[in-house]
Amino acid sequence: MASDTRKILYVEDEKSIRDAVAAYLEREGYWVRGVGDGRSAVEEFEKHTFDLVILDLMLPKLSGERVCRAIRDTSDVPIIMLTAKGEVEDRIIGLELGADDYLIKPFSPRELVARVRALLRRAHAEAEPSLELLDFQDLVIDISGHKVLVEGEEIDLTASEFKLLTTLARYPGRVYTRMELVEKVLGYDFEGYERTIDSHVKNLRAKLGDDPRNPRWLYTVHGVGYRFEAPEAEGADGEAEKE
Ligand code: CA
């Protein structure tokens, strides 16, 4: 295996699908470790280093949900969740658990590969050093260190949430449509995935402690998308009562 071959953990209990999709991914140049249940997935993930995880939601032994949680406890590896058609709530749950993207079954292997590529490209771009620091006092985004501090406390963001926040915060006041955010954050421009952005924004708000009804940073622009606002610098006169 070439040293730059990307390694994928692929968790799918239906063997015929797993074999077919794994073969497709391998033809595209990826190294694929396929497993058929949730427990093996967690074990494999602990033993080896993967660049990306493709995770079916409905799995024997340990659900995709639990696997996703277990992986997120230790890693921000890109995760693509696979859900059956109609499991709308399930795919939203997937994103709330910290998956970066989801695909509804049945999907075309070609579309899966497009998603895999986009996520890997993004993860790779993020790994490259850049010396940017966005400082909004109570909110500090250290882009080179891949860290976000809210009132001095570091918070844990997934790769998608981090990308979403930095995209918005680089240009305070600029309104981004959901479609633009899909493109910038998820790295592709298929239509119909705006809901994904809503889920990421919801998670990001929860982690930042930003109340959508009374936002400090992230504003909903109804019918359009989102924008970031840098709060005015606090004067020395009034705001001392916090703590
Ligand atoms: Ca399944």
Please report the domains of the chain, with CATH numbers, ordered by start residue: 7-124 (3.40.50.2300), 133-241 (1.10.10.10)
Tokens of 108: 């075309």
Q: Do you know the residue count of the chain?
A: 243
pLDDT band of 91, cuts 50, 70, 90: low
Would you say residue 49 has pLDDT above 70? yes
Q: Which residue has the higher pLDDT, 68 or 91?
A: 68
Three-class secondary structure assignment of 163-216: HHHHHHHHCCCCEEEHHHHHHHHHCCCCCCCHHHHHHHHHHHHHHHCCCCCCCC
Ligand 1 midpoint to CA 57 (Å)? 6
Nearest CA to 99 out of 71, 121, 62, 127 is that of: 71
Which residue in this structure is represented by tokens 């049945």?
A: 106
- Mark the residues whose beta carbon lies below 5 A from ion ligand 1: 13, 56, 58
Ligand 1 midpoint to CA 163 (Å)? 30
Distance between CA 141 and CA 168 in Å, rounded?
12
Would you say residue 220 has pLDDT above 60? yes
Ligand 1 midpoint to CA 89 (Å)? 16
Q: Which residue has the higher pLDDT, 60 or 121?
A: 60
Ligand 1 midpoint to CA 107 (Å)? 14
Q: Which residue has the higher pLDDT, 221 or 183?
A: 221
Q: Give me the numbers of helices (H) and strands (E) for the chain, helices first please.
A: 8, 12
30: left (phi over 0), alpha (psi -120 to 50) or beta: beta
pLDDT band of 242, cuts 50, 70, 90: very low
Look at the alpha carbons of 187, 81, 157, 122 in this order and tell me if their dihedral is positive or negative: negative
Ligand 1 midpoint to CA 64 (Å)? 9
pLDDT band of 89, cuts 50, 70, 90: low
**Percent of the chain surpassing pLDDT 90:** 46
Ligand 1 midpoint to CA 11 (Å)? 9
Would you say residue 228 has pLDDT above 60? yes
- The pLDDT of residue 65 is 87
Ligand 1 midpoint to CA 60 (Å)? 8
